[in-house]
Amino acid sequence: MKKIYYILSSLILLTSCQERDPAPFQDVTGVYFNNTSGAMTVTDSLDVTFVYEASDQVEVPVKVQLLGRASDQDRPIDITVSSDNAEEGVDYVLPDAVVLPAGVSSTDYIVTLKRTEALKAEKKMILLQIHANEHFDLPVGHIVQVADTVSTLEYRIYFSDMFTKAPAAWDENLVGEFTQQKFELICRVLGIDPGDFNDPGVITLAKLLYISAEMTAYVEGEVEKKNAGQAYDEDAFDPRTGEPLTFR
């Protein structure tokens, strides 16, 4: 993600005009992407993971900012979305149309990401691009930040259903080595919100001991079913070795 203390080079040019001559700013009517990840930090990309989501859909608001005066009429904004490895309708859903409503200076373009099995093995990316039309120019093409330059005409959304590291509350001494399979099995069997594992105040030592005991008993039960030729939960076993999962 991009770092801070930015300046809008185009805005500096506009606002450097003398106070007695405001016409240049009044004549500007433009739009640009203006998304942040913390105070005063502008970004041109976002990384989303489903691993802590209970839902199979995530709505991502992408902020579009007006440069100029608000209008008393709704005005359409021209945004295109493309991808090399994600398919509209399967991996993501877009709004039917995007407009800047009357009287406001910004709006959110909502992209709905969909959880699919493919996201467990592949990170996908969609590229949003904003274009000029009969209502809006593109006076701001980038923002200069410390040691970095951020595009304001393109915005990338990366998304997957994979972990890059164990969640904050996971303790290998209590529940064993972390794997995504074990994590998902715990959440499904015990009805735990995946997001809780990022809060040690929720997944406490006592909670981890409870998880270890309950999941160990659950796997032992599935082993008994398998040995008896009964239907069993395949997720309780390592798909590579066939051995039952361990939670100690």
Domains along the sequence of the chain with CATH? 9-160 (2.60.40.2030), 172-236 (no CATH)
As a whole number of Å, the end-to-end CA separation of the chain is 37
Q: Which residues pair with 150 in a beta bridge?
A: 143
Measured distance CA(94)–CA(142) in Å, rounded: 24
Question: Each residue of 137-194: pLDDT tens digit?
Answer: 999 999 888 768 899 999 999 999 999 889 999 999 999 999 999 999 999 999 999 9
Task: Quote the CA–CA distance of 220 and 223 in Å, as a whole number.
Answer: 5
What separation in angstroms does the CA of 150 have from each of 7, 9, 135, 165? Answer: 11, 12, 24, 27
> What order of strands is seen across the sheet that includes strand 29-33?
29-33, 57-68, 106-114, 92-93
Residue 38 has a pLDDT of 67
Q: How confident is the model at residue 24 (pLDDT cuts 50, 70, 90)?
A: low
4, pLDDT greater than 80: no
